Amino acid sequence: MTWLTPWPTILADPIVDPSPEDTIMTTTTDRPTVPQPAQPPKRRDRTHWLYIAVIVAVLAGVGVGIMAPEIGKSVGVLGTMFVALIKMMIAPVIFCTIVLGIGSVRKAATVGKVGGLAFVYFLVMSTFALGIGLVVGNLLHPGAGMNLTENAGKGAELADKAHEAGGLMEFVQGIIPTSLFSSLTEGSVLQALFVALLVGFALQGLGAAGQPILRGIEHLQKLVFKVLVMILWLAPIGAFGAIANVVGQTGWAAVGQLMALMLGFYLTCVIFVFGVLGSLLRVVSGVSIFKLVRYLAREYLLIVSTSSSESALPRLIAKMEHLGVNRSTVGVVVPTGYSFNLDGTAIYLTMASLFIAGALGDPLTVGEQIGLLVFMIVASKGAAGVTGAGLATLAGGLQAHRPDLLDGVGLIVGIDRFMSEARALTNFSGNAVATLLVGSWTKTVDTAKVDAVLAGRDPFDEITMLDDSHATQTSHVDEPAQAKVPAAV
């Protein structure tokens, strides 16, 4: 093909009127090409080596714990330090996420609706999880015929730890920090959530005047996630220490005595996640629970290595935003769910209570089980605010409801670390599903992006852990990601 091209046009001179003799013949190969913008170099994702190293570290920890138990116990501090580093970052992550999400939403009623729906859902699902624990416990009769008394007598100590949180008014009072900045330094998730809500609504009220502050917080969020990525490279060391410590302390013989309870609890959690949560997710959001689990696979591995769902909280926030859920929805549902949506802990509380009663030869009657269920609905909501959450809350609940069973808490101290794996995984799954469900109910989720991400067409950026599509959301006071998701009602 040949082109008749006016020469001044090639020179980009619109003033000169070309004459016939200025018209030249050019071939396709001679025709100037429009310069294409340079493509940014593709960054190599080296984080898969990190998670391979975590698996190797876990296996090494098991080997050290079996062959050299004393050494395994001595390196347990490595796991404690790693989890402490992760928890150090939780409050800043929550603060930045919620402030950016709420501060860029024009209507405060949007956040109120999200929070209200989330709280009702948390209450219903926690009650349902407690009920499932009772049903499975009555079918399996855990603890029947067992006579394990080695750790008896530790229940009172754990109950005292649980009651350090105080009653209802003390719990509410504890949400209010002593100062604005202490909420970011004391490590309280609820205090950080409370202050972030105040700051977010204040910036929302400032309108355009608050935009420079929002942009500053957006840069702060990038810094926080960069520090978090650096910490996560220490995961193999933390996993090695934690696993070596627990195997060195308990040994396989102690675990084998309580294998029935462990397997029953794990089976119940699997049924709850893939049966109950999976069905609800499919009906409401049209999303496969198996695809969601595959998308969050690295977070599950991190939780297994630390036995703490909090270790994956920052990554869950980042990944749910990338999945297509509105930032303000993620900022409200995920942190709140870590205090009020503890499905795995709820199942654990009821099954462990039945196990203790059976092991001590004093099974609970139907009436006592119903009373325990009602009590645990409230008790489980405070689990996230207590060190050694599941075990300590169990002790506190039994002391208030069945004091005669309190010493039985010491019977499961040896395997609590192993059961905490399933607790943490179930809690994490429940919060991931809750975020999608609330996003669907409030129409703050981009279903097209959900499909693209879960299909692998839009991979998560493991380098920065940030979704660039949110980068411009704080430049105005309209609904975030307004072009991508329907406005919240």
Average pLDDT over residues 143-161: 53
For helices 235-257 and 413-441, the axis angle rounded to 10 degrees is 120
Task: Give the separation between CA 489 and CA 471, rounded to whole angstroms.
Answer: 24
Cβ neighbors of 360 (< 8 A, separation 6 or more) are 143, 405, 408, 411
CB 173 within 8 A of CB 390: no
Q: Give the model's pLDDT for residue 196.
A: 85
SS3 327: helix
Q: What is the largest CA-CA distance in the chain?
A: 109
**Residue tagged 């050494």 (tokens):** 71
Average pLDDT over residues 462-483: 46
Give whichever of 158-172, 274-288, 471-485 has the largest mean pLDDT: 274-288
**Residue tagged 């860029």 (tokens):** 104
- Residue 397 confidence (pLDDT) above 60: yes
CB 93 within 8 A of CB 226: no
CB 67 within 8 A of CB 440: no
Q: Which of 124-128, 162-166, 216-220, 359-363 has the lowest mean pLDDT?
A: 162-166
- Residue 471 confidence (pLDDT) above 50: no
Q: Give the model's pLDDT for residue 23.
A: 46
Among residues of the chain, what percentage have pLDDT more than 70?
A: 66
Which residue type sits at 405? L
- Residue 387 confidence (pLDDT) above 50: no
Average pLDDT over residues 416-438: 87
Q: Give the model's pLDDT for residue 258.
A: 65
CB 148 within 8 A of CB 358: no
User: What is the pLDDT confidence band of residue 464, given thresholds at 50, 70 and 90?
Assistant: low
Q: Could you tell me which residue, 283 or 26, shows the higher pLDDT?
A: 283
Around 55, how many Cα atoms within 13 Å sit in the side-chain half-sphere? 8
Average pLDDT over residues 431-452: 92
- Residue 413 confidence (pLDDT) above 70: no
CA distances from 290 to 215, 281, 294, 429, 431 (A): 37, 11, 6, 11, 15
Residue 5 parent element (H or E): strand 2-6
User: What is the pLDDT confidence band of residue 270, given thresholds at 50, 70 and 90?
Assistant: very high
**Residue tagged 């949400």 (tokens):** 175
Average pLDDT over residues 361-366: 74
**Which of 213, 221, 193, 184 has the alpha carbon at shortest distance from 103?**
213
On average, the pLDDT of the chain sits at 74
Would you tell me how many other CB atoms lie within 10 Å of the CB of residue 120? 11
- Residue 276 confidence (pLDDT) above 90: yes
User: What is the pLDDT confidence band of residue 1, given thresholds at 50, 70 and 90?
Assistant: very low
Residue ranges of domains in the chain, CATH in brackets: 57-475 (1.10.3860.10)
**Which of 165, 45, 100, 35 has the alpha carbon at shortest distance from 477?**
100
Give whichever of 11-15, 332-336, 461-465 has the largest mean pLDDT: 332-336
- Residue 179 confidence (pLDDT) above 70: yes
Q: Give the model's pLDDT for residue 195.
A: 86
Q: Which of 43-52, 162-171, 327-336 has the lowest mean pLDDT?
A: 162-171
Give whichever of 136-140, 202-206, 208-212, 288-292 has the largest mean pLDDT: 288-292
What confidence tens digit (pLDDT) does each residue in 75-126 have? Answer: 888 887 887 787 787 778 778 877 877 776 655 556 677 888 888 898 899 8
For helices 327-340 and 413-441, the axis angle rounded to 10 degrees is 150
CB 393 within 8 A of CB 383: yes
Residue 36: exposure state from Cβ atoms within 10 A (0-12, 13-18, ≥19): exposed
Q: Give the model's pLDDT for residue 478.
A: 39
Q: Give the model's pLDDT for residue 451.
A: 92
- Terminus-to-terminus CA distance in the chain, angstroms? 56
**Which of 436, 484, 259 has the alpha carbon at shortest distance from 337?**
436
SS3 463: coil
Torsion angles phi and psi, residue 32, rounded to 5: -60, 140
Which contacts (CB < 8 Å, 24+ apart) does range 171-175 have?
Answer: 171/382, 171/385, 174/385
Average pLDDT over residues 222-236: 84
Q: Give the model's pLDDT for residue 259.
A: 74
Q: Give the model's pLDDT for residue 486.
A: 34
